[in-house]
Amino acid sequence: MKNVNLTLNKKVSILLLSSLFLTIVFSFLFIHYLYKDLYIGTVKDSLLYQGQRTAAHYHYGDVSGNIKDKILWYNVISPYEVSVVENLDELGKSFPFLIDQKPLINRMDRKELAKGNHVMKEGYVDEFNRKVIGAVFPLMNEDKLMGYLFIYIPLAEMTEVFSKGIPILILAGVMFYFVLFLIIQSSLDSLFKPVREMQRFSNQVANGNFTERLEVTTKDEMAELALTFNSMVDSLQHQEDRKRQFLSNVAHELRTPLTYIGGYAKALTDRVQTNPEEIEKSLHLIQKESVRMQKLITELLELNKLEDAAFSLDIEPMVLSQFIMDSLTLIRPQAELKHIDIKHTLNEESIINGDPNRVMQVFYNILDNALKYSPERTSISIHSYEKDGKAVVKIKDHGIGIPGDSLSQIGERFYRSDLSRQRNTGGYGLGLSIAKEIMHKHKGSFSIESEEGKGTTVYLTFPLLEL
């Protein structure tokens, strides 16, 4: 079976029109209920009441002139047809019609009448071209059956009952349908205008145009959706800008070492340099730049792996102070070369859930940065403590510091503040990006305070292990 593709506009229109159709069907069924259960029920009750009341005029004696005169008078003033007979054969002559193609009185009816009970009759009479409701009442003189009273009335058709109301109902229904149709069309145009605008907007975004934004003029669900769209595009634009900046930075960082390698390699192949010492120096520079390129690629791969949603840590309980001391052991030889004093005050009871290798990598990257940008014969202090259910590590140096307008960008890929863009540091601005991502994976935080010319303080916060 082939699927029918309908627009949302058409689906809503079909839904509303279907609801209207069901309303009309319900109205028809309701009118039918009014006719069948209320009108016919009311007629039955009234007919029984009038029949019992008329039969009550008979007290004793033969069914003769006096009661027949009363019946003739009642026929004149009431809508019912009433007749009084002495026997059922005479009743058949008084009402010689079939009801639903059956005689008026059958064997069961005779038994009920003989018991003194009345009999209800209802059905279609061809001669009247409509249904008839009637009742036969036995006229009793004590225990003796003296005669029968038959009262009946032809029922009006439903169209006759509602003859005045149906044309008005049809006219009102047509007008209501037309007005509702106009309202639906107007509402749908108003409702789906933002949807069409979002469709056009999403097509532009899909084509790489992130400059436009949806205009929000209301405070309904569509406005919330438009704000979500705008937020999504802001994020996409930010990611696109970062991607372009990333590619630009990679190209910039690779261009310099490749230029050095290419230049020195050409000098060697063209035998421009013949002095063994110069040749050795050139080879040493080529090797150095190759190492720098290898480090760049390694750090990029490491950062991409950490940013992958599928990446998982090897979590285990860790005594934080022990890993800080292990990191200091690795970094101390470099500190001694610059005569930098490393001081530490550690809380030995802080235990966290973490990946030991990754936490060590964070401490090493931050301490390595502190050493690179600290002058000789200064100091670096490390302090760990607990605060608000978290373990905090504070690392403070007395280095060159970071300009205030650069602090918000520290930790982004390839970003290095102007004061630190020196090739002899050997960095690409990826170490802190890696540290920041590892802290994020540990559900911790990474923040920096710095004052240019006075030093930098890094705060690392880890959730404590719940014992």
Per DSSP, helices labelled H in 407-450 are 431-441
**Distance of alpha carbon 319 from alpha carbon 287, whole angstroms:** 40
Residue (of 290, 460, 310, 323) closest to 392 by Cα position: 460
Write out pLDDT tens, residues 363-375: 988 998 889 889 9
Per-residue pLDDT band for 42 (boundaries 50, 70, 90) equals confident
Q: Which amino acid is at 366?
A: I
Terminal Cα-to-Cα distance of the chain (whole angstroms): 62
The Cα-based distances of 353 to 348, 357, 361, 444 in angstroms read 15, 12, 15, 11
Write out pLDDT tens, residues 222-263: 777 778 878 888 877 777 776 776 666 667 667 767 777 787
Whether the CB-CB separation of 137 and 148 falls below 8 Å is answered with: yes
pLDDT for 382 beyond 90: yes
Residue 36 DSSP class: I
Residue 4 has phi, psi (to 5 degrees) of: -95, 120
pTM above 0.75, yes or no: no
Q: Walk me through the domains of the chain, giving residue ranges and CATH numbers.
A: 8-161 (3.30.450), 210-311 (1.10.287.130), 316-463 (3.30.565.10)
Residue 409 DSSP class: G
Q: Return the pLDDT at 421.
A: 45
Whether the CB-CB separation of 233 and 213 falls below 8 Å is answered with: yes
**Distance of alpha carbon 463 from alpha carbon 390, whole angstroms:** 5
Per-residue pLDDT band for 212 (boundaries 50, 70, 90) equals confident
**Distance of alpha carbon 228 from alpha carbon 247, whole angstroms:** 28
Task: Return the structure tokens found at 238.
Answer: 């930010």
Residue 464 DSSP class: B
Q: pLDDT exceeding 70 applies to what percent of the chain?
A: 73
Q: What is the DSSP string of 346-373?
A: --TT-EEEE-HHHHHHHHHHHHHHHHHT
Q: Return the pLDDT at 423.
A: 45
Q: Quick one: average pLDDT of 426-438?
A: 72
Whether the CB-CB separation of 54 and 82 falls below 8 Å is answered with: yes
The top-scoring range by mean pLDDT among 197-211, 383-397, 453-467 is 383-397
Q: Quick one: average pLDDT of 135-149?
A: 82
**Distance of alpha carbon 89 from alpha carbon 116, whole angstroms:** 18
SS3 for 385? Answer: strand
Q: Return the pLDDT at 444.
A: 92
pLDDT for 218 beyond 60: yes
pLDDT for 161 beyond 60: no
Q: Return the pLDDT at 264.
A: 73
Write out pLDDT tens, residues 311-348: 778 889 999 999 899 889 888 888 999 999 999 999 99
Q: Return the pLDDT at 418.
A: 46
In DSSP terms, 393 is beta-bridged to 384, 460
Residue 273 has phi, psi (to 5 degrees) of: -100, 125
Write out pLDDT tens, residues 61-107: 566 666 666 776 777 777 788 888 888 888 888 888 888 888 888 88
303 contacts: CB under 8 Å, gap ≥ 6: 413, 430, 433, 434, 437
**Distance of alpha carbon 185 from alpha carbon 379, whole angstroms:** 76
Rounded to 10 deg, the angle between the 276-307 and 431-441 helix axes is 20
Residue 152 has phi, psi (to 5 degrees) of: -150, 165
Q: Return the pLDDT at 350.
A: 92
SS3 content of the chain, % helix, strand, coil (to 5): 55, 20, 25
Q: Return the pLDDT at 6.
A: 58
pLDDT for 462 beyond 90: yes
Q: Return the pLDDT at 429.
A: 62
Looking at the chain, how many residues does it have?
A: 467
Whether the CB-CB separation of 435 and 446 falls below 8 Å is answered with: yes
pLDDT for 165 beyond 80: no
Gyration radius (Cα) of the chain, Å: 51
Please provide the average confidence, as pLDDT, over all residues in the chain: 78
Write out pLDDT tens, residues 170-189: 677 677 777 777 777 776 66
In DSSP terms, 379 is beta-bridged to 341
Q: Return the pLDDT at 381.
A: 95
Q: Which amino acid is at 375?
A: P
Q: Return the pLDDT at 422.
A: 46
Write out pLDDT tens, residues 110-133: 888 888 888 988 888 888 888 888
Q: Quick one: average pLDDT of 282-305?
A: 75
In DSSP terms, 352 is beta-bridged to 318, 464
Cα dihedral 256/257/259/260 (nearest 10): 120
Residue 13's Cβ-side half-sphere holds a number of Cα atoms within 13 Å equal to: 13
Task: Return the structure tokens found at 247.
Answer: 């590619």
Least confident of 18-32, 58-72, 135-149, 237-251: 58-72
